[in-house]
Structure 1
Amino acid sequence: MNIEKSTENSSDEVYQQIPTSHYLKNVRNESYYTGDYKLGLNFYSFSHNLMSWLQGSTDGTPPVDTMQLIRYAKEAGFDSVDVTAYYIPGYENFTLPTKPVEEIFTYVRDIKKLAEELGIAISGTGIKNDFADPSDERRALDVERVKYWIDVAVEMGAPVIRVFNGEIPPDLKSSDWETIAKERIVPALRECAEYGATKGIKIGMQNHGDMTSTADQVIRILQWVDHPNLGVVNDTGCYKTFQAKTGEDYDWYDDIEAVIPYTFNFQVKRKPAGPNTEELTDLEEFFTRLRYSNYRGYIPLETLWVNADTNHPKYLSEPPYEQVSDFLALIKSASESTKHHRL
């Protein structure tokens, strides 16, 4: 890892990215996949509505519960659902759950039962954590929380649990990216991967525009952890230059493709540079590159809104079923149209 120190301020450390082209060598297959992909719904697409249900919000955002969304996903034509743990009653971001374990297990068993009755798969789940936090206690608690929700994933029948690497910590300037990654993130991920392996649950670390903003950072952390049960939730809307505000003018598709060999699951976003930007994802570019890979897993979509959006869920009379279904239609169309055309 090359870290170039500023001569003016020795506390400033600059992350030097290895070019993505280095990782793209030998990534692409000679064969081109012409089959169908299984498309999924990540429940964060309805985050505002689900939180309105969970919190009993009175701001006018139409509520929807987890069971209703599973039924909607089946009716809309999704093949799977990614039931983010945020939307399981009792989940907390910074503590262990507030409800008894058997109550949570009963709820997720009902999720599994409903999905089986409807004939829709559960592709994954996920929690919020921060393995880059300077606090040893915070990181240890987050590892404990991941293990707890791995057990929940077993009961729910979710094969993958998504975790984050961590926000850029306040002490980055007095340290450096590699040191923080190796001393904080890597040990935590390894412990989670080892525990998940004993339970048959894969750990998918999501690139989230944080301590993993580039394909280079993602792949280096994977190599340092060096555990077969750790892979990636490949987020198409979060690749950018490290510490940049958005991913504008970044070559997202190269990074997405470079990470595909390590990918356990996806989150396909409407905008590749972030929700506050304008350019839309070129879905044909995405699927064309994907078809040169060995990936045959689920492809969940995730929609995001910012407050300035006129179709923000809080302004709608019902949850954004139409908007999400429209995005699914675009993804289906791109998947179909790329079956027989290549780069």
Structure 2
Amino acid sequence: MSNIQSTEDSFAKVYTQIPTSHYLINNHNGPYYTGDYKLGLNLYSFSHNLSSWLQGSTDGAPPVDTMQLIRFAKEAGFDSVDITAYYIPGYENFTLPTKPVEEIVEYARNIKKLCAELGIAISGTGVKNDFADPNEERRALDIERVKYWIDIAVEMGAPVMRVFNGEIPEDILSQDWETIAKERIVPSLRECAEYGATKGVKIGMQNHGDMTSTADQVIRILEWVDHPNLGVVNDTGCYKKFNEKTGEGYAWYDDIEAVVPYTLNFQVKRKPAGPNTEQLTDLLEFFTRLRYSNYRGYIPLETLWVNADVNHPKYLSEPPYEQICDFLGLIRAAAESTKDHLSSKINR
């Protein structure tokens, strides 16, 4: 962590050598934002290390706990943290929590207290769920779980609860996408949105390369739910053709941009086509397009790892602090270098 500033300086030099006009896009008539963005860390970036801590494992990635990572985020220069609920002791993916609610509330309040002491914001939290599952009891349980964690989000001070729409179910062969979306996903999201509204917590459905793989699918579900407390966690690494394995060759930036007006929060990934692909996100393209929008919220980054990665956390002697700082440096440099170059539309 001691090399954070030098890392950022080196990335800034790289980006300022690239003409911004190369990244300009057509058909933008609105004002171009030249201010700063608030950058965040999604704690899922340290998923392997956090899992080692929660499981008490000494065989995998070096363990690190949630509180340690909040302190790291502040030291690294992040403006916010997304405290995925997975990393609150007692969380379970398929059942309600195994610990007494008093213990979970206390941990959530301690997170809020630490963030307040450090002066770092909490941009959101999230759970795992599957609202496309054919099993009605499973969907009902997931709704109950989301409501439980909305209550914890209130205690933690998280303004957004991230939920998924659901994996593509096996009965997609006998049902069509629209029917499954309208009969399973839409009612579930509406119930969560209504409950969140009573608690002051927005519901952000994340496009995850699942039942919402395209911007069109995202927007149609939003329109069908039709609730002011529902928006999107805009995941830059999950847009692709429906039911395709990866997003290689897809127009990711068009879909990212199309969903921005509905966006409550981001997850900016290193690779736009998925973690098993090679092409890196063009952060200049991303920020240039974003600056034509009205989005002024947090922009959290999230790193994913696959077993083939030589810098996978399980191979490292400490959590991937350096890799996270490197990615933050790239994002910060791209955000900075796109600030002042434009005052009007310039075509490529």
Same fold (TM over 0.5): yes
CA distance in 1, matches of 2:33, 2:319: 35
Deviation at 1:253, TM superposition (A): 0.1
Structure 1 residues 169-318: aligned runs within 5 Å: 169-318=169-318
CA distance in 1, matches of 2:102, 2:264: 29
Match of 2:130 in 1: 130
Could you say if the C-alpha distance between residues 294 and 135 of structure 1 is closer, same or farther in structure 2, counting changes exceeding 3 Å? same
Deviation at 1:96, TM superposition (A): 0.3
Higher relative CO (CA 8 A, sep ≥ 6), structure 1 or 2? 2
CA distance in 2, matches of 1:341, 1:130: 43
Amino acid in the other structure paired with 1:51: S
Amino acid in the other structure paired with 2:241: T
SS at match of 1:161: strand
Deviation at 1:60, TM superposition (A): 3.6
CA distance in 1, matches of 2:70, 2:194: 30
Match of 2:96 in 1: 96
SS at match of 1:40: strand
Deviation at 1:260, TM superposition (A): 0.1
Structure 1 residues 314-333: aligned runs within 5 Å: 314-333=314-333
Work out the percentage of aligned pairs sharing the same amino acid: 85
TM, length-normalised to structure 1: 0.92
Q: Please identify runs of 4+ aligned residues in structure 1 that moved more than 3 A.
A: none
CA distance in 1, matches of 2:234, 2:313: 25
Amino acid in the other structure paired with 1:86: Y
Deviation at 1:341, TM superposition (A): 2.7
Structure 1 residues 51-70: aligned runs within 5 Å: 51-70=51-70
Match of 2:36 in 1: 36
SS at match of 1:122: strand
Native 8 Å contact 1:90 1:99 kept in 2: yes
CA distance in 1, matches of 2:340, 2:282: 17
Amino acid in the other structure paired with 2:221: I
Q: Deviations over 1:280-308 (max 9, x none)?
A: 00000000000000000000000011000
CA distance in 2, matches of 1:332, 1:69: 19
Native 8 Å contact 1:29 1:293 kept in 2: no
Number of equivalenced pairs? 318
Amino acid in the other structure paired with 1:44: Y
Match of 1:5 in 2: none
CA distance in 1, matches of 2:304, 2:165: 20
CA distance in 2, matches of 1:68, 1:50: 10
Q: Deviations over 1:174-214 (max 9, x none)?
A: 00000000000000000000000000000000000000000
Could you say if the C-alpha distance between residues 174 and 153 of structure 1 is closer, same or farther in structure 2, counting changes exceeding 3 Å? same
Aligned-residue RMSD, C-alpha = 1.1
SS at match of 1:63: coil
1:162 and 2:162 aligned: yes
Native 8 Å contact 1:28 1:293 kept in 2: no
Q: Deviations over 1:39-67 (max 9, x none)?
A: 00000000000000000113241000000
CA distance in 2, matches of 1:28, 1:54: 47
Native 8 Å contact 1:222 1:231 kept in 2: yes
Match of 1:7 in 2: none
Instruction: Give structure 2 stretches of 5+ with no counterpart.
Output: 1-26
SS at match of 1:171: helix
Q: Deviations over 1:218-259 (max 9, x none)?
A: 000000000000000000000000000000000000000000
Amino acid in the other structure paired with 2:311: N
TM, length-normalised to structure 2: 0.90
Q: Deviations over 1:48-91 (max 9, x none)?
A: 00000000113241000000000000000000000000000000
Amino acid in the other structure paired with 1:310: V
Amino acid in the other structure paired with 1:116: A
Native 8 Å contact 1:235 1:268 kept in 2: yes
Could you say if the C-alpha distance between residues 178 and 152 of structure 1 is closer, same or farther in structure 2, counting changes exceeding 3 Å? same
Amino acid in the other structure paired with 1:126: G
Deviation at 1:29, TM superposition (A): 5.5
SS at match of 2:170: coil
